[in-house]
Structure 1
Amino acid sequence: MTDEKRIKLFSTHPHPCSYFDDREAKTLFVDPDIAVSSSLYSLLSQRGFRRSGNHYYRPNCEGCQQCIPCRVPVAEFTFSRNQRKLFNRNADLTVVATRELSTQAYGLYERYINARHTDGDMYPADPEQFASFITEGRSDTRYIHFYDNDRLISVAVSDPVEDGVSAIYTFYDPDDRRRSLGKYAVLWQIMQCQQRNLPYVYLGYWIRDCNKMRYKTNYRPIELLMSQRWIRLN
């Protein structure tokens, strides 16, 4: 039996939407008893699924299509003037990609969530929630650590898939605004894929009417999954 034929999906009951206060959401989850291989994970990414800890999911809301999967075709990506400046501004950072998280990571995550996401469902941060979201899931996950000298200032969680990488999450020093560390982590992953001749960086969901999720179309060209087809925006 192929990976695709083994997929079983379950839907949640309606629950409060994480992005719009006046809406309810529904989510499709892959059966948690299925072992998600690298090839199946790649197929799920191509179909708009994301990973959170041990769970693979996709929005399935009635009457709302705001959450649109997006990915950057890195071979055609070109830096804007501001993105080039941002990349150069962070050239002094040391980057270390490992399969193990630094012991400094939780403290950084806690500061980030408690400063930047007080209105979200991850607030307040706690070690159990951190483990279920960040450290559990896959053995091949890469934790990309960004250091300013010896001080950890950002961590990007990144999964390899067969046609690139899936950028899962980034957290960083909430007081360091000059570096724009979230944007830099995306650019760094795009550059790595370009150097390794990998086609895509999957960025999760673009949400036009949500300020926190609208930024993703700043990386051009970008592809949006609409009506089961990837549509390119230049």
Structure 2
Amino acid sequence: MADGSTGTPTPDGAAVPYSHIFPIGFSYYAVATSLTPSFYQKLVDRCWRRSGTLLYRPNQKNSCCPHYTLRLDATGFRPTKDQRQAVNRFNKFVVGEAYSKETARACPRSREEIRKRDNEFDLVARISEAEFASLKPPPLPEHNLVVTLEPDTFTEEKYEVFENYQRLVHKEPADKISRNGFNRFLCSSPLTRETITGDDGKEKKLGSFHQCYRLDGKLVAMGVLDLLPHCVSAVYFMYHESIRQHNPGKLGALREIALALDAGYRWWYSGFYIHSCPKMRYKVDYSPQYVLDPETLEWDMLDKEALAIFDKKPYVSLSMERRQRALEQEREAEEPPTSNHGEGDEAPAVEGDGGSISPGGDEEAFLFHSNMPGIPSLEEMRQVNMDNLLLRSDYSNECFLASQLVVWDTESIGEYGNLKSRIAELVAAIGPDLVSEYCVDFRRKSRM
């Protein structure tokens, strides 16, 4: 676990940093009362995301709009011409023509510097080039741009940008926008905040932050970010409609990629990707992009070949596609030359292709009767030792072991709805290998 987290009393009296999670209703939803950044990093690498304190892992097989986890390697990112132009145009707007001319006269660049600038686009340097702290006045720039990374606390200034963005950009009704909603989902993160030193010797902030963009002293945009040991995870981005013409969404994405590169996080997670949603297709404009396979929880390059598969099928597991092709090639190689393929021939069944039949009734919500990819089966979960899993309740100030529950030895994880089966569902959804890193928190007071 990451250092600096709040310790939790354990049965032997030792203080250990655990993440606290409460399973709710449908098996792949949970509420986090506290999360260490290192633990949440593992969750996002297993198809999980958060909205405020709500954690969720979607069932891609059982959705009309499957959600896939994407990440971009900032070390290999090369901005497109359109992305470079967006940065350059905004920088020119900020500094103004008078500043550009005076600076060019007072500090002229050599031919070699001009050639290098034209041929090489240093994202980290260029994205912050127009910030007031990077300029050398006099003269003064036409606008004062300041970008800061701040704690994810609620302020009226932030809410005003949120309200404007939801109402004028997202066209959301005014009665659906509230300070409580903004604070709940974008300001009340369960992530603990800490600082670590990376392998490159740089200090990295971990936790949830607001990246605030102020133009001439006014907050005009804000990115909600989860900074994790190995990534900058984008939660939300909003801007005031007054700067809409400057491509703020594109500028925000590029700055977050620059942060991942400059601070040593390496990866930029842009949030869930829905291939059938046109508004999300912009995410593939940033490359090299990788997609998380729901079946194997491994990363695959999201290249043209992969996107072509996404175009054809509602649910995609690239590992399953590779197995399918291998079986088809093996089948063709084994068939005699005189064999004639008819239109009625069916492709061989592939492991993981299609879900199990639901028993119906209330048990349709039971994780072990679902077709959710990447989840251990009921038989596999029977082999998992959950006795030492930590639990908390309103009846004790300390954690206790699952094996200390009165009903633990009498209940079966295969009986839908009982306490042990609910715990087993959460363990399966998170991953049995992480069972020692979190506490199942049943305290009602902690979720109020």
Question: What TM bracket, shorter-length normalisation?
Answer: 0.7 to 0.9
Distance 1:59 1:5, change over 3 A: same
TM-score (norm 2): 0.45
Moved more, 61-70 or 79-88: 61-70
Residue in 2 aligned with 1:71?
A: 71
Quote how far apart the aligned CAs of 1:89 are.
2.7
| Rg comparison, structure with higher value | 2
User: Is contact 1:114–1:124 with CA below 8 Å preserved after alignment?
Assistant: no
Retained in 2: the 8 A contact 1:117–1:123?
Answer: no
One-letter amino acid of the structure 1 residue matched with residue 278 of structure 2: N
Structure 1 length normalisation: TM-score?
0.82
Q: CA deviation at 1:152?
A: 1.2
Question: Which residue of structure 2 lines up, in the alignment, with residue 52 of structure 1?
Answer: 51
Once residues 185 and 157 of structure 1 are traced to their aligned partners in structure 2, the CA distance between those partners, rounded to angstroms, is: 10
1:1-234 maps to which residues of 2 (within 5 A)?
Answer: 10=24, 12=26, 28-32=28-32, 35-60=34-59, 62-64=62-64, 66-91=66-91, 92=94, 93-99=145-151, 100=153, 102-118=155-171, 124-137=176-189, 138=191, 139=193, 140-226=207-293, 227=295, 228-234=297-303
After superposition, give the CA deviation of every residue in 1:151-199 in whole Å (9 maximum; x if it has no partner): 2110001111110111110110124222111121111010111112222
Whether the aligned pair in 2 keeps the contact of 1:3 and 1:39 (CA below 8 Å) is no
In 2, the alpha carbon distance for the partners of 1:7 and 1:101 equals 24
CA distance in 2: counterparts of 1:77 and 1:84, whole angstroms:
12
Matched AA of 1:113: Q
Q: Flag structure 2 segments of 5+ consecutive residues without an equivalent.
A: 1-9, 11-15, 95-144, 194-206, 304-448
Change (3 A) 1:141 1:7: closer
Q: Figure out how many residues of one structure are paired with residues of the other and give that number.
A: 218
Which ranges of structure 1 fall in alignment gaps of 5 or more residues?
A: 13-26
Q: Point out which structure has higher relative CO (alpha carbons under 8 A, 6+ apart).
A: 1
In 2: Cα distance, 1:123 partner to 1:232 partner: 42
- Counterpart residue identity of residue 158, structure 2: A
Q: Which amino acid aligns with 1:90?
A: F
Which structure features the higher share of helix residues? 2
- The match for 2:132 is none
Shift of 1:106: 0.4
8 A contact 1:74–1:200 mirrored in 2: yes
Higher strand proportion: 1
The alpha-carbon distance between structure 1 residues 124 and 116, as it changes in their structure 2 partners (threshold 3 A), is farther
Q: Per-residue deviation at 1:96?
A: 1.2
Q: After alignment, is 124-133 or 63-72 more displaced? A: 63-72
Q: Deviations over 1:37-63 (max 9, x none)?
A: 122101011112112111221222515
Contact 2:68–2:292, Cα closer than 8 Å, also in 1: yes
- AA aligned to 2:156 is T
Extract structure 1 runs of 4+ deviating beyond 6 A. 1-8
Conserved in 2, the CA contact under 8 Å of 1:71 and 1:223?
yes
Change (3 A) 1:159 1:3: same
Q: Which amino acid aligns with 2:37?
A: S
Identity of aligned residues (%): 25
Query: 2:233, 2:268 within 8 Å by CA — same for their partners in 1?
Result: yes
Q: Which residue of 1 aligns with 2:401?
A: none
Note if contact 1:75-1:197 (Cα within 8 Å) is conserved in structure 2: no
Query: For structure 1, which segment, 153-162 or 131-140, has the greater mean C-alpha deviation from structure 2 after superposition?
Result: 131-140
CA RMSD of superposed structures (Å): 2.8
Partners of 1:74 and 1:29 lie apart in 2 by: 30
